[in-house]
Amino acid sequence: MQQKVKCPYCGYEMPVWYDDKASKSKGIFIKCKGRKCKKEFEIKIN
């Protein structure tokens, strides 16, 4: 099942998905698309 990535600062659900079966990921940086947030954060999957 796919899950959406949430911004750790404002909780906005980003238009980015990842699968439950994904094993490891790091070094992926995205910018929040929330109206007032716009902060950059890293996606880490352990």
Give me the phi and psi of 26, to 5 degrees please.
-160, 160
pTM of the model: 0.80
* Separation CA 5–CA 8 (nearest Å): 9
Task: Per-residue pLDDT tens, the chain, 46 aa: give them.
Answer: 999 999 999 999 999 999 989 989 999 999 999 999 999 999 999 8
- Report pLDDT for 46: 87
Alpha-carbon distance of 24 to 10, in angstroms, equals 24
> Quick check: 42 and 26 in contact, CB under 8 A?
yes
Give the domain extent around 27: 2-45
Q: What confidence score (pLDDT) does residue 3 get? A: 93
The separation between CA 40 and the C-alpha centre of its own chain, rounded to angstroms, equals 10
Counted domains in the chain: 1
Residue 13 pLDDT: 97
